[in-house]
Each structure stands twice: as structure tokens, then as C-alpha cells.
Structure 1
């Protein structure tokens, strides 16, 4: 009678190869990532332009209000078919057309 030892296959060898493959892919991609970036042209601001990073908080708030006013005015134009008057904008409390403390 011949006896033979058979080891159970618990997948440890395959798991090690998968982990090594993943580590290799991550290492190669980490090394090659800087070479895969596109170069963007950095244009300087003209004399009449201002960078948004140079604005103060109050100016940024005014820009946000103007963007919202643009949306409101456009929606009123679409709904009514004509551009609203300033008095209508004051009635609808659309900033910056409202005369209040702020």
C-alpha cells in the first residue's frame, strides 16, 4: 500500500501573487503618474481683469448675489416673455435691487 500526503489548498500562494501584482501595479502607476499629466498654459490676468482669489469676502458675496439675480431675471424672462422692470425686481426681493439695510 502506497500512502501519499496531500496538502490542503487554502489559496495562500494565489493570494500572495494577487497581492504582489496589485502592489506592483500601484508602484508602477505611482512612478509614471507625473509623466502622464497634461501641461496647461497659465495665462496672466490682463490689466482690467482681477483674479477671484484676490477678492475680499464682501466682493465674493456680491458676485454670488449677482449670479442668483441673473438666474432669477432669466427665469422671469422665460415665464413672462419679457424682461422684468427694476420695480418688479424690487417687489420680488431680488438682490441687489432691494433697498434695505444690507
Structure 2
């Protein structure tokens, strides 16, 4: 049985990957911009680790968006990855 926490973690993981890929960044580039290890970002994107609030703040800062925007975009996905042209403009 999937819990609400599992669901939001999956959406956040997918959103982080989508934000990174939309910018054409590699894992290494995001890691450098956020000051986070490449391995940690890889684990988060694969859903193997849940990001802490501090880590989400670093990642959203690297994307030049607020942490609340990152989470809101993840919640709006309803578990689906959206193409760049289908994403809402903030």
C-alpha cells in the first residue's frame, strides 16, 4: 500500500529530474551548482533516498526557483512527468 509520503517523494524525485533535464544539465552539473554530491542526487532521482528540507533548498536554489515552487510543481504533476511545453509558467 502506497502512503501519501511515498507518493510525494516519488513526485519530488521525478520533478527534480525533470527540472534538471529541462535545463540540459548532467547530474554532475546539478551537483556542482547545488553543492550536493552527484551520488545523492542520483539516489533522490531514482527514489532511493528522500531529500531533506536543506537538500531541497539547495536544489531549488540551483534551479533558481523557490523550494515551495519546486514542491508545488511536483504536486501538480499528479505522478506524471510533463513535457516542458505542457508545464505551467510561474
Q: Provide TM-score, normalisation by structure 2.
A: 0.28
- Taking CA–CA contacts closer than 8 Å with sequence separation of 6 or more, which of the two structures ends up with the larger relative contact order? 2
Q: Provide TM-score, normalisation by structure 1.
A: 0.25
